[in-house]
Amino acid sequence: MGIQVVRKDPVRCLIPESAMDGMRVPGLLYADGRILSEVKDDPVLRQVANVACLPGITGYSFAMPDLHWGYGFPIGGVAAFSREGGIVSPGGVGYDISCGVRLHVSRLEEEEVSRVLPALLDALFSSVPCGVGSEGLTSLKGNRLDAVLKGGARWTAKNGFGEIADLDRIEHGGCLDGAEPEEVSQRAKERGKGQLGSLGSGNHFLEIQRVDEVFDPTLAQSFGLEPGGIAVMIHCGSRGLGHQVCDDHLRILARSVSRHGIAIPDRQLCCAPLDSGEGKAYLGAMQAAANFALANREAIGSRVREVFSRFFPGERLELLYDVSHNMALMERHTYNGKEGLYCVHRKGATRALPPGHPGLPQLFAKTGQPVIIPGSMGTASYVLAGAKGSTECFCSTCHGAGRVMSRSAALKSADAGSVAARLKEKGILVRAGDLRTLGEEAPEAYKDVDVVVDVVERAGLSRKVARLRPLAVIKG
């Protein structure tokens, strides 16, 4: 039997508390008719309802329009848990801790880049390690790795793998100060010590893009986005280190959840009170893994800049913003007129701080936070800006297109060769660390990113600034 869904307005649907025993709050799904038709019979809606059963949840169990099945929490899920009586759950963050996106902008135009695009792409492919098990740009051992886990992108910027000027354009200034490297297992550190500055595999990518359309000329200009201009998008996370941190703490919390008297409708939702030893240990390890991800993207960005400078002497790729979409953060919010501290889980969802928000860097105080939404391979990506309506869901928005097809199903429907051929027909060059990835990441495996972005704009969560079209892509 399916989960009951009630239409609230053209882009919002409710899952009432009565839909399932144990729900403490309703579910709120951001979806138009097309999105709802894609998920109405999907078990992902039960995951939205399951999250609503967790202690301390406030407001709703939110689901963005890119939602799809995940481990415990749905991907595209947002849930805020009150400081008093609330919990933290690794399933609400996911295995790729602090997976995120950064966008570099340039003064280059498509015509200039097109002349050297194949050689430029080959140079990037050689310079940025990618694929399963790929090694990074430097080896981190002992205290050096702990320094990265503690310092994040601040460490890379100060040690020759990035730029200090970038830090104001990275979420949290490039570093989460609550990181506890001692809560990261030796196994996790072993997996991460050689991976700094590497792209990884799966849906991670590096893409050369053209600014295809501008929706808000004033905002676009302030973000350095001009029609026809060239940008570079990087999407990756904490690699094997973050995966191991999640795995380690899932095992710990699975053993302790009943001891804390917490009943969960799905064992994948194992969790711990925020003030418990297990909860604090996970938060400290998760933030250390997030710092690794921030450092990783900064190091990749540095290598991309080096390659571009060889082809275009004197040209500098400016960082617009770097933002994560798999995190649980302690944040202060005013919700229903009451200010409080919440642990906001965003799994496959990103922050979208509106203009004037105290958490914004000064340079974005008037515009709102840049929001970077990658599409599926070969389709458009978007730059948006945080809007005041995002306070409804603890200043959150979607993170991408969202899958409609599992990786195995995608492989059955499209092989790597046919995907590469279709991209070539569109004039998109592609390189991959593992050709199998092209089949798994075929465009038809994802929702229509134009529809997803339209929903979050109509809901008032973020505002469209510009659309970017791919010219060349490197897949892990």
Give the pLDDT confidence of 35-55 residue by residue, as tens digits: 999 998 899 999 999 999 999
The pLDDT score that the predictor gives to residue 405 is 66
Cα angle: 264, vertex 44, 418; to 5 degrees: 140
H or E element that contains 88? strand 87-88
Q: Is residue 291 part of a domain?
A: yes
Block means of pLDDT (10 residues each) for the chain, 476 residues, are 91 97 98 95 96 98 97 98 97 98 97 97 94 71 91 96 96 97 97 93 93 98 97 97 98 96 97 98 98 97 97 96 97 93 98 96 96 91 97 97 71 74 88 76 80 98 98 92
pTM of the full structure: 0.95
Q: Is residue 451 part of a domain?
A: yes
Which residues constitute the domain of residue 61?
6-404+446-475
What does the alpha-carbon distance between residue 57 and residue 265 come to, in Å, rounded to a whole number?
15
Which CATH number characterizes residue 148's domain? 3.90.1860.10
| Backbone dihedral angles phi then psi of residue 334, each to the nearest 5 degrees | -100, 115
The pLDDT score that the predictor gives to residue 1 is 54
What are 113's two structure tokens?
Answer: 């880049």
Nearest to 377 by CA among 232, 474, 237, 239: 474
Q: Is residue 115 part of a domain?
A: yes
Nearest to 457 by CA among 11, 78, 60, 7: 11
H or E element that contains 316? none
What are 107's two structure tokens?
Answer: 């003064």
In total, how many domains does the chain have? 1
The pLDDT score that the predictor gives to residue 104 is 98
The pLDDT score that the predictor gives to residue 55 is 98
Q: Is residue 125 part of a domain?
A: yes
The pLDDT score that the predictor gives to residue 311 is 98
In the three-class reduction of DSSP (H, G, I as helix; E, B as strand; rest coil), residue 8 is classed as strand
The count of other CB atoms within 10 Å of the CB of residue 23 is 22
Q: Is residue 103 part of a domain?
A: yes
Q: Is residue 422 part of a domain?
A: no
The count of other CB atoms within 10 Å of the CB of residue 119 is 10
The pLDDT score that the predictor gives to residue 432 is 86
Helical spans, DSSP H, in 223-276: 239-256
Q: Which residues are catalytic?
A: 399
What does the alpha-carbon distance between residue 424 and residue 11 come to, in Å, rounded to a whole number?
35
In the three-class reduction of DSSP (H, G, I as helix; E, B as strand; rest coil), residue 318 is classed as strand
Q: Is residue 419 part of a domain?
A: no
Q: Is residue 386 part of a domain?
A: yes
